[in-house]
Amino acid sequence: MTPLSELPQPRKIIAVHTAFESRAAQRGRRPQQPSYFLKAPSSISYSGASVPRPEGTELMAFEGEIALIIGTSAHRVNMAEAWHHVGWVTASNDLGIYDYRAQDKGSNIRSKSRDGYTPLGPSALPAEDIDPTDLRIRTWVNGELAQEGGTTEDDLIFPLPQFVADLSQHMTLEPGDVILCGTPAGSTVVQPGDVVEIEVDVVSTGVSTGKLKTVITEEAGDFDPALGMLPQIDDKQREEAWGSREAAGLASNPHALSQELKEKLLAAPTAGLSAQLRARGLNNVVIEGVYPQTPGTKLVGVAATLRFLPNREDLFRSHGGGFNAQKRAFDAVQPGEVLVIEGRGEPGSATLGDVLALRAQQRGAAGVVTDGGVRDYAAVQDIGLPVFCGNPHPAVLGRKHVPWDSNIAISCGNATILPGDIIVGDDDGVIVIPRDLVAEVVEGALAKEREDEWVAARVAEGHSIDGLFPPTGKWKEEYQRWLENNS
């Protein structure tokens, strides 16, 4: 083990955005390639240091990480050579203030480059003695284990040497430079007075860096609005900082329907709901040309959206491959959501297949609505996820579509759908209900359904529909008496 004071001073600190499978699963997005941001060398501090959270901020979070310290210069090295350029391994804490994260738009300059916000140590392990797949990182907050992760291929999305090799294609890594290798699941918010401890050890030998100790304190904020952006937070940043909506004290899905409202929507036919919307001046609420794969299917949920553009070969090359917008949308759909897909009514290509349908089902989606085609039609139907679509088609999306964006306003079947709208489908088709109208619309539809059932019973008894459908005069009075007696 080597004291950090004996190592070369870094000229740059490079941090990986997401590297651990557990972290990617927690956040619902998994990168196809590594991405990075820079931290200032002045952000370095050492074990035992106090690191302040400025007054006026709320969301200071720790991230226990493995730090690689470059031993010999690396320029355009390959994967096989990369680990030989790592001199030492130590523990690090990639502290950040999420109150500034949205304003930084991925650079993390203000949120993570503050003085002292990269604690390192307490000692460094020689990399030449270490198998890069044999490391473990653990984090404790006030003595309680908060994070644990390894560096096997099951733990990491990218192997540690890849960061060295990749970065060396674009810049020369110099002795002392630090690479922070991402954090496992479990990162969350800390408060002044909390003590964070982080340790990296070699699994096979037990050799350890020792525990990197950081004490969280508080200091004056003194934010001058004339100089730049002030701290600002919203529920998205709270969720990211705490690690989950539940940990942040937020509802698991801000658009989720109550069970009572969902049951009422399940009982209400789309025909009745459509009539109620028409009575309120909304005529363009039907998603045209889509029907259930399995007759008798009822669909109720909150809209999430995905948009396809017409295929253009250059755009498909840049947007069609890898973890594209289509895959991201299916991978991020929330329980109770209906993924509504804008396929422009194009019947000549599919917009989903069996693997994506299975992913949506496993995520707890309420269903999928697309005005385009579905491939693996029978297999998708067998999965049991409610799917409303236009037609089967065997072709992949690149024939007619470019996956473009998600969770935006879209057009599906000549209807406009916003994220958070309520989607209801049955054998008659699918309708869209604005969120602020759903309670009164479903109550009106159920009341009309009850009236229609009473009218149908009278017609079955042989009565004429004149004055009965809808009830007027004596029939209306008789229906009101029936309601009073059967309420």
pLDDT of residue 144: 95
Please tell me whether 59 is known to bind a ligand. Answer: no
Among 252-266, 395-409, 430-444, the range scoring the smallest mean pLDDT is: 252-266
As a whole number, mean pLDDT of residues 29-35 equals 88
pLDDT of 254 reads 61
Beta-carbon count within 10 A of 257 CB: 19
Q: Peptide bond preceding 470: is omega within 30 degrees of 0, i.e. cis?
A: yes
Q: What is the pLDDT of residues 217-227, one digit of tens each?
A: 998 877 777 77
Highest mean pLDDT among 4-8, 310-314, 423-427: 423-427
CA distance 393 to 386: 18
Q: Do the Cβ atoms of 206 and 43 come closer than 8 Å?
A: no
Distance of CA 174 to the CA centre of its chain: 36
Whole-angstrom distance, CA of residue 353 vs CA of residue 380: 7
In 264-336, DSSP assigns E strands to 286-287, 291-292, 299-310
Q: What is each CA distance from 256 to 28, 119, 263, 301, 419, in whole angstroms?
A: 18, 40, 13, 8, 12
- 359 Ramachandran zone, left/alpha/beta (phi>0; psi -120 to 50): alpha
Return the pLDDT at 455: 84
Q: Hey, which residues does 410 pair with through a beta bridge?
A: 417
- DSSP state for residue 9 in the 8-state scheme: P
Instruction: Look up tokens 């709208």; give the residue.
Output: 421
The dihedral through the CA atoms of 349, 353, 356, 360 has a sign that is positive
Q: Which residue has the higher pLDDT, 254 or 56?
A: 56
* 76 annotated binding-site participant: no
Report whether pLDDT(17) > 90: yes
Q: Is 429 helix (H, G, I), strand (E, B) or coil?
A: strand
Residue 158 or residue 482, greater confidence: 158
For domain 2-242, the CATH superfamily is Fumarylacetoacetase-like, C-terminal domain (3.90.850.10)
Q: Tell whether 164 is in a known binding site.
A: no
How far does Cα 413 stand from its chain's mean position?
26
What is the rounded end-to-end Cα distance, in angstroms, of the chain?
80
Model pTM score:
0.60
What DSSP string describes 140-199? EETTEEEEEEE-STTTBSS-HHHHHHHHHTTS-B-TT-EEE----TT--B--TT-EEEEE
Q: What percent of the chain has pLDDT over 70?
A: 99
**Mean pLDDT of the 140-147 span:** 96
Report the number of secondary-structure helices (H) and strands (E) in the chain: 14, 28
User: Is the model's pLDDT at 302 over the cut of 90?
Assistant: yes
pLDDT higher than threshold 90 for residue 301:
yes
Please name which of 397, 435, 421 lies closest in space to residue 340, comparing C-alpha atoms: 421
pLDDT for the residue 196: 97
Backbone angles phi, psi at 24, to 5 degrees: -65, -40
Percent of the chain with pLDDT over 90: 69
What's the confidence (pLDDT) of residue 339? 97
Using DSSP's 3-state secondary structure scheme, residue 227 falls into coil
Q: Is 150 annotated as a binding residue?
A: no
Whose structure tokens read 């209801």?
424
Residue 355 marked as a ligand binder? yes
Top-ranked range on mean pLDDT: pick from 2-16, 191-205, 323-337:
191-205
Q: Determine whether the annotation assigns residue 353 to a binding site.
A: yes
Cβ atoms of residues 196 and 140 within 8 Å:
yes
Residue 40 has pLDDT above 80, yes or no: yes
pLDDT in tens, 355-410: 999 999 998 999 999 999 999 999 999 999 999 999 999 988 778 999 999 989 99
The token pair that represents 143 in the structure block: 């003595």
- What mean pLDDT do residues 155-160 have? 96
User: Domain limits of the chain?
Assistant: 2-242, 259-439
**Across 32-54, average pLDDT:** 94
The dihedral region occupied by 300, where left means phi > 0, alpha psi between -120 and 50, and beta the remainder, is beta
Question: Does 259-439 carry CATH code 3.50.30.40?
Answer: yes
Tell me what the pLDDT averaged over the chain comes to: 91
pLDDT (mean) for 152-156? 94
Dist CA 413 CA 53 (whole Å): 50
Closest CA to 1 of 150, 211, 177, 208: 208
